[in-house]
Amino acid sequence: MEWMILPLKRYFDFQGRSRRLEFWMFALLNVIVFTVLSVIVFGTGATMSQIEAADPNDLGAIYGSMFSGLGLLFIIWWLIILIPSISVSVRRLHDRNMTGWWYLGFIVLSLIPLIGFVASIAYIVVMALPGTPGPNKYGPSPKEGVTAETFE
């Protein structure tokens, strides 16, 4: 559980390195929270009835009904995790001895159809690869005697 919330503790920390465990446990936390929020929001049925009542040709009405009421929980959680998600991704790239600007490249490319799919897969692969052993230009290895407790 400590590794899941560590990126929230290191909210604006874009320096240093993060190991795979920190990145993927934070990703798992997001999947769990979004699943719970989906059950709460769509399990009540209120949101689904609003979506069904909306004009199918009016995407604004459909999205508006999805993100009103309990659907606001999605937006609130997204705002809470936005900066920690960026910072843990940048630190993870640092662990691979890559500049954090690569993250911006992945985001921009993900906006282009088909290329975005390939960019998303490349992002997942890069995040899954092991970091450089020992220290690199972004700092010491995060595996060397560091636990989740030391980042307070």
For residue range 6-63, what is the model confidence (pLDDT) as tens digits? 888 988 999 999 999 999 999 999 999 999 988 887 776 656 666 666 677 777 766 6
Q: 137: domain range?
A: 2-150
Structural domains of the chain, count: 1
Rounded Cα distance between 22 and 45, Å, is: 35
Structure-model confidence comparison of residues 111 and 41, the more confident one = 111
Q: Which long-range contacts (CB under 8 A, 24 or more apart) does 136-139 make?
A: 136/17, 136/94, 136/95, 136/97, 137/97, 138/15, 138/16, 138/17, 138/94, 138/95, 138/97, 139/15, 139/16, 139/17, 139/94
Read off the pLDDT of each residue in 89-97 and give the average, rounded to a whole number.
Answer: 96
- Average per-residue pLDDT for the chain: 86
Structure tokens at 20: 């795979």
- Which ranges in the chain belong to alpha helices (H)? 2-9, 20-43, 46-53, 59-66, 72-95, 101-110, 115-128
Structure-model confidence comparison of residues 62 and 85, the more confident one = 85
Residue 133 has pLDDT above 60, yes or no: yes
Band of pLDDT at residue 104, cut at 50, 70 and 90: very high
Residue 84 has pLDDT above 90, yes or no: yes
Residue 152 has pLDDT above 60, yes or no: no
Q: How many CB atoms lie within 10 A of CB 56?
A: 9
Rounded Cα distance between 118 and 104, Å, is: 15
Q: What per-residue confidence (pLDDT) applies to 71?
A: 75
